[in-house]
Amino acid sequence: MFRIWIGASTADAVVRLAAQMASTMVVARILSPAEFGLAAMVLGLNTIMGAFIGLPFEESLTQRRRLYTSHLETSLFASMLLTGAAIVLSILMGPLIEHWVDAPGFAACLIFSSLLLLWQGPGAVSKAVARRSRRFVEISTCQALSTVIASVVSVLAAMAGWGVYSLLLQRLLPNVLYPVLAVVFLWWRGQRIWIPVRWHGERFREIFRFSWLHLADVGVTSAAPAALAFLVNAVFGAVTLGQLNIALRIVDPLRMALMGVGHNLAFSVLVRLQGDPPRLVQKAGDIASGVAVLAVPAFVGLAASAPVLLPLLVGPGWELAVPLSQILCLAVGLSLPFRFYYSSYSALGRPEYGLIGSTVGLVFMVAGFVLTAWFDGHIAAPVAFLTYEVAATLVALVYAQRLVRGGAASALLRIGRIWLAALVMAGVITAVYFRKDVPDISPSNLLAIIATGAITYPIALWVTCRPCFRELISLLRNRGL
């Protein structure tokens, strides 16, 4: 059964990544960097609002040992109340922010994006129920279909001249479609579809401690990209912000797919170890090193191939995004495996650890941006992003050490050996394909780069970490690759 879940989740990640990349290829050739910059600011604030509305209740409902319908009713009530507050704030604050950042059209876009948050609460509740029932195939199907539909709508909107709104639909429409598709699955199984929106004070107090801490955590975590977007816009302008947005669109689909799918599966395993923190932390380390076997070479490979991959995807005019995307890829490859320690802390009922990690990361990100912009503004944004990821990772490792003797030492050693193999792969790719000043930007050259990486990495991994190599082969066999 677990293999079926992994297979469905992998298919979900691949489909979402392909759909988002394909739609970005089309939209980037239609819209300007300034429009991408405006979308980055709007989506930054929308992400904060969406995080407050849905994610805390999803995690709290999933984490509870006993769940009643009244918990679901209360979560829906609270999320709808928060959605109304977000819409009102958008109406009141949108024009002020538009004037402050000198971004025409910002207010209308922010109000439009906040209206799409009406489905965030129902989506979070439906996903929490599915996660508790371990219906990961259903979750994967709904996520994949919603992303494909949203990507098609986004392309059609861009071709129709909708501009920034097409970028907003690409990112936010899946949140609208997911609960609709989940209802279809419930109807097909003959299960209850509608849940009343009611307030139960006692039930709210039961989920309040976990929810408000997780709420603060996701709020601060979501504030990081928004803060970075506004800092870049204020210092360098909307065009540079648009280049950063494109660089993130090369990185984010893979990161979000791996983290979203991985967290759901890992949480279902880790939550069973709530009563044994040492075993829970050890299991989180095993998951982190298992994810790193595939994630690290994927992001290092993206960084190495970016000079060819990005121009093929988005066309001319985005040259500044290439070095940005390379640094972002390396930052995510470094931090993503260790994010599963935060999944273990959430399963343990300690979301405050995640709050501290995201807060420290945000502080260091802002400091890193200010200092780097002072010396060399060209790399201020990616260095700030890297600083955030490194700081949050270090906090995760500190808490692992506090919970169990030895902490994450074993996982660190294995992941370090995986990184060594990935860097060897990147070195071979660079030596073979990037000796000239101007790389050969063609599909055949990109396929050759991918093939070289696919051959080089397993060989290097066999040398640096034999157990990791055996785990990689096992993963590939389980997925039928």
Q: Domain containing 341: what range? A: 274-481
Separation of alpha carbons 246 and 323, rounded Å: 12
Based on the fold, state whether residues 189 and 318 are members of the same structural domain.
no
Which DSSP state fits 336? G
Specify the pLDDT at position 64: 63
Specify the pLDDT at position 481: 41
Based on the fold, state whether residues 174 and 87 are members of the same structural domain.
yes
Contact present, 12 and 130 (Cβ < 8 Å): no
Q: Mind listing the pLDDT tens digit for each residue in 72-107? A: 777 788 888 888 898 999 999 999 999 888 888 999
Separation of alpha carbons 471 and 194, rounded Å: 44
Contact residues for 99 (Cβ-Cβ < 8 A; gap 6+): none
Based on the fold, state whether residues 296 and 414 are members of the same structural domain.
yes
Residue 258 lies in a domain: no
Q: Mind listing the pLDDT tens digit for each residue in 201-213? A: 666 666 665 556 6
Based on the fold, state whether residues 290 and 205 are members of the same structural domain.
no
Query: Is the predicted pLDDT of residue 356 greater than 80, yes or no?
Result: yes
Residue 124 lies in a domain: yes
Based on the fold, state whether residues 337 and 474 are members of the same structural domain.
yes
Contact residues for 340 (Cβ-Cβ < 8 A; gap 6+): 262, 263, 266, 284, 287, 288, 291
Q: Mind listing the pLDDT tens digit for each residue in 412-448? A: 999 999 999 999 999 999 999 988 777 888 899 999 9
Residue 257 lies in a domain: no
Contact residues for 109 (Cβ-Cβ < 8 A; gap 6+): 38, 39, 42, 164, 165, 168
Residue 354 lies in a domain: yes
Residue 267 lies in a domain: no
Query: Which of 215, 234, 257 delimits the end of a domain?
Result: 215
286's tokens: 């095993």
Model confidence at 214, pLDDT cuts 50, 70, 90, reads low
Among candidates 294, 283, 347, which has minimal Cα distance to 453? Answer: 294
Based on the fold, state whether residues 280 and 406 are members of the same structural domain.
yes
Based on the fold, state whether residues 278 and 380 are members of the same structural domain.
yes
Q: For 371-433, what is the HEC assignment?
A: HHHHHCHHHHHHHHHHHHHHHHHHHHHHHHHHHCCCCCHHHHHHHHHHHHHHHHHHHHHHHHH
Based on the fold, state whether residues 195 and 318 are members of the same structural domain.
no
Model confidence at 480, pLDDT cuts 50, 70, 90, reads very low
Q: How far is CA 47 from CA 224, 228, 392, in A?
A: 10, 13, 19
Average pLDDT over residues 382-393: 92
If one compares 363 and 141, the residue with the highest pLDDT of the two is: 363
Specify the pLDDT at position 222: 76
Separation of alpha carbons 278 and 274, rounded Å: 10
29: helix, coil or strand?
A: coil
Average pLDDT value over all residues in the chain: 83
Average pLDDT over residues 281-297: 88
Residue 399 lies in a domain: yes
Count of structural domains within the chain: 2
Residue 165: is it exposed, middle or buried by C-beta count within 10 angstroms (0-12/13-18/19+)? buried
Query: Is the predicted pLDDT of residue 63 greater than 80, yes or no?
Result: no
Maximum average pLDDT range among 44-58, 192-206, 466-480 = 44-58
Based on the fold, state whether residues 189 and 51 are members of the same structural domain.
yes
Specify the pLDDT at position 475: 62
Based on the fold, state whether residues 33 and 119 are members of the same structural domain.
yes
193's tokens: 């579809």
Based on the fold, state whether residues 288 and 207 are members of the same structural domain.
no
Based on the fold, state whether residues 166 and 49 are members of the same structural domain.
yes
Residue 221 lies in a domain: no
Contact present, 404 and 277 (Cβ < 8 Å): yes
Residue 290 lies in a domain: yes
